[in-house]
């Protein structure tokens, strides 16, 4: 792949990463609840999840999802349930101010990492996105090393963008605002997660009925 191809792929990945979505909401919520270290851990987990999907797409495996819609719908349903689970945790959680940049113990960081990873892995539309994206860049005869580099670029950009969002969220003024409006932000995020879960669930039911 030539330089123009790499630049085009980079631009598309950057635009995709900075576009607001459920992943960004989860990362920012983790940052608010566990501090910057937790947000960084979640960002790294999300970037690794993106890498996995991008690598699958680059090697053609994601295209198999089109041939096995039941598996795709199952993962999509799990994604909706995961968002609903996050919403319930927010609704019934005790009010908590944003923790300092140091965060909590390593167990909290591991939980944050897993949360970031899951919000990426439980969104099969990411696989279809990369399958469509890479269809314009992948050709026969390419090496696995090139595909891994393409996936690494996508995952690295995603990780870098979310790390940047976490850094901005850790700003002192932002932290004071989030701490002072903790409960309100909990309910707003919960509402957003529920709306997304309902939308994904509705899409899943419609697709199942179509089959």
> pLDDT for 55-70, tens place per residue?
887 777 555 556 667 7
Spatial distance between the Cα atoms of 23 and 196, rounded to a whole number of angstroms: 11
| Lowest-confidence segment of 97-101, 131-135, 157-161, 186-190 by average pLDDT | 97-101
Instruction: Identify whether 175 is part of a domain.
Output: yes
Number of independent structural domains in the chain: 1
CA distance 61 to 23: 23
Mean pLDDT of 107-126: 84
Q: What's residue 72's pLDDT? A: 65
**Is 172 among the domain residues?**
yes
pTM: 0.72
**Any domain includes 115:** yes
Angle in degrees, CA 84, 45, 64, rounded to 5 = 75
For residues 65 and 128, give the distance between their C-alpha atoms in angstroms, rounded to a whole number.
8
Q: Identify the domain containing residue 64 by its residue range.
A: 23-210
79 vs 177, residue with greater confidence = 79
Count CB-CB contacts under 10 A for residue 87: 21
In a domain, 70, yes or no: yes
Report the alpha-carbon angle 28-190-161, nearest 5: 20
pLDDT band at 161 (very low <50, low <70, confident <90, very high): very high
Question: Is residue 119, in this structure, part of any structural domain at all?
Answer: yes
More confident residue, 189 or 44: 44
**Domain assignment of residue 129, yes or no:** yes
User: Residue 59 falls within a domain, yes or no?
Assistant: yes
Residue 16 included in any domain: no
pLDDT at 22: 77
For residue 97, what are the CA distances in angstroms to 2, 117, 137, 181, 196? 49, 24, 45, 8, 25
């Amino acid at each position: 792949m030539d330089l123009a191809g790499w630049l085009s792929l980079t631009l598309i990945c950057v635009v995709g990463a900075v576009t607001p979505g459920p992943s960004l909401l989860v990362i920012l919520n983790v940052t608010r609840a566990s501090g910057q270290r937790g947000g960084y851990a979640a960002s790294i987990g999300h970037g690794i999840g993106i890498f996995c999907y991008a690598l699958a797409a680059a090697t053609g495996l994601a295209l198999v999802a089109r041939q096995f819609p039941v598996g795709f719908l199952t993962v999509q349903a799990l994604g909706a349930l995961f968002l609903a689970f996050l919403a319930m945790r927010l609704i019934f959680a005790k009010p908590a101010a944003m923790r300092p940049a140091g965060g909590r113990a390593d167990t909290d960081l591991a939980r944050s990492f897993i949360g970031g990873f899951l919000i990426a892995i439980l969104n099969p539309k990411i696989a279809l996105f990369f399958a469509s994206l890479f269809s314009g860049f992948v050709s026969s005869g390419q090496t696995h090393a090139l595909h891994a580099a393409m996936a690494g670029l996508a995952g690295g950009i995603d990780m870098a963008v979310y790390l940047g969002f976490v850094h901005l969220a850790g700003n002192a003024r932002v932290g004071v605002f989030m701490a002072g409006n903790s409960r309100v932000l909990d309910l707003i995020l919960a509402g957003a997660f529920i709306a997304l879960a309902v939308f994904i669930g509705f899409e899943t039911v419609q697709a199942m009925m179509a089959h």
